[in-house]
């Protein structure tokens, strides 16, 4: 059996079965999702993290590329109770270390009790506990990955849906899932995907009907250029955001964010709409949250479990953001109408601009 060691912050070392060789380090987190492992593993929001699956068997319906959310696996390593051969071979081909025969119940309990933690992984024929501990020693906190956007963003602008007749969306790619772009294209939008560090002039050149800040990994305060874009455009252009995008919008408009103990990662997070009283089930993947929205924003939806903000709207600006993933993939499709609301907001602003001023 291939040796596999997982060194946890605090000094405890777990031993498991190696399924894909290599060494890695990252923030240890868990997801409660029981399906959607392909989407989770290709979600850029897991960059610089080690993903633990709480569901005991991962891979029972194979690996299909059409379900991928990006062009590669993003977690630095993967832990599970049991991985099928399909998933193990996929991770091996991606050079992502994988360990199973781990008691993931204990791992999840440790994370819930102590919070997300640093860890080091070593998998191979001749690795030792010391190799895993050496990786742990070099592991950085998530907030210290100050340019993590460069690891997950497009390098140059890309246009999708060029032949569509709907609104023009400037999507700032801080680690966007592919299904976000798909959801906008399906609604007849033309989507200009910009790098996470795009300039105001870059974005202004396409005359967007809406500025859309994507999901992504890491601490929102490190996405300084995206914050600047929101500050510059919000008075004249509708602004939308998902996940990290909600946090960036809050930072830009006078609010604040904070790191959560272990975050929300799964496909069954209940969210309460404060106006309608309706509860919907949502897909989530984030370790930071909005602490205070600031005077320009108001919280419109909250997480039923811990009251953290899940939806934020503008008080004086056209702003709508969601902490969860309305596009799902994987997960429930209760909130797909978010994209309709975003484009309706953009269309309404465009229509109002088209009305000539009275003499």
Instruction: Please tell me the predicted confidence (pLDDT) of residue 41.
Output: 98
pLDDT, tens digit (0-9, with 9 covering 90-100), for 47-61: 999 999 999 999 999
Of 256, 211, 258, the closest CA to residue 238 belongs to: 211
CATH 3.40.30.120 fits 149-354, yes or no: no
Binding positions are: 45, 216, 218, 244, 247, 285, 287-288
Q: Give binding residues for L-glutamine as ranges.
A: 45, 216, 218, 244, 247, 285, 287-288
The domain 3-140 having CATH identifier 3.40.50.300: the answer here is no
pLDDT of 13: 97
Q: What integer pLDDT is reported at residue 189 of this predicted model?
A: 98
Rounded alpha-carbon distances, angstroms, from residue 264 to 44, 270, 271, 284: 15, 11, 12, 6
Q: How many CA atoms lie within 13 A of 28 on its CB side?
A: 27
Active site (catalytic) residues: 243, 325, 327
SS3 state of residue 110:
helix
CA 151 to chain centre: 13
| Percent of the chain's residues with pLDDT above 90 | 93
Q: Which two tokens stand for residue 141?
A: 């906190």
In the predicted model, is pLDDT for residue 128 greater than 80?
Answer: yes
Domain residue limits, the chain: 3-140, 149-354
Does the pLDDT value for residue 351 go beyond 90? no
Q: Are 153 and 195 in contact (CB under 8 A)?
A: yes
Identify the band that residue 95 occupies on the pLDDT scale cut at 50, 70 and 90.
very high
């Amino acid at each position: 059996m291939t040796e596999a060691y997982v060194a946890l912050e605090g000094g405890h070392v777990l031993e498991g079965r190696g399924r894909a060789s290599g060494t890695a380090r990252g923030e240890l987190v868990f997801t409660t999702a029981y399906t959607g492992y392909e989407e989770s593993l290709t979600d850029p929001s897991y960059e610089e993290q080690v993903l633990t699956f709480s569901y005991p068997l991962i891979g029972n319906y194979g690996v299909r590329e059409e379900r991928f959310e990006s062009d590669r696996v993003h977690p630095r390593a993967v832990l599970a109770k049991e991985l099928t051969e399909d998933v193990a071979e996929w991770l091996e081909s991606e050079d992502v270390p994988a360990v199973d025969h781990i008691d993931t119940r204990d791992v999840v309990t440790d994370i819930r009790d102590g919070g997300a933690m640093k860890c080091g992984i070593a998998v191979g024929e001749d690795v030792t506990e010391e190799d895993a501990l050496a990786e742990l020693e070099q592991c950085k906190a998530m907030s210290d990955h100050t340019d993590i956007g460069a690891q997950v963003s497009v390098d140059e602008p890309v246009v999708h849906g060029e032949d569509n007749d709907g609104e023009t969306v400037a999507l700032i790619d801080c680690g966007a899932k592919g299904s976000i772009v798909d959801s906008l294209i399906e609604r007849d939008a033309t989507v200009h995907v910009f790098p996470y560090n795009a300039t105001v002039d870059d974005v202004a050149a396409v005359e967007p009907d809406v500025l859309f800040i994507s999901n992504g990994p890491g601490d929102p305060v490190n996405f300084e250029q995206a914050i600047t874009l929101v500050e510059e455009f919000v008075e004249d252009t509708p602004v939308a955001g998902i996940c990290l995008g909600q946090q960036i919008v809050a930072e830009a408009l006078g609010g604040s964010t904070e790191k959560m103990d272990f975050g929300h990662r799964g496909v069954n997070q209940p969210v309460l709409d404060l106006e309608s009283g309706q509860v919907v089930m949502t897909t989530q993947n984030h370790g930071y949250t909005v602490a205070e929205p600031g005077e320009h924003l108001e919280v419109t939806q909250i997480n039923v479990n811990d009251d953290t903000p899940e939806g934020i709207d503008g008080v004086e600006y056209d702003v709508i953001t969601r902490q969860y993933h309305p596009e799902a993939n994987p997960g429930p499709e209760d909130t797909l109408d978010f994209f309709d609301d975003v484009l309706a907001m953009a269309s309404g602003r465009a229509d109002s601009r088209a009305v000539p001023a009275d003499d």
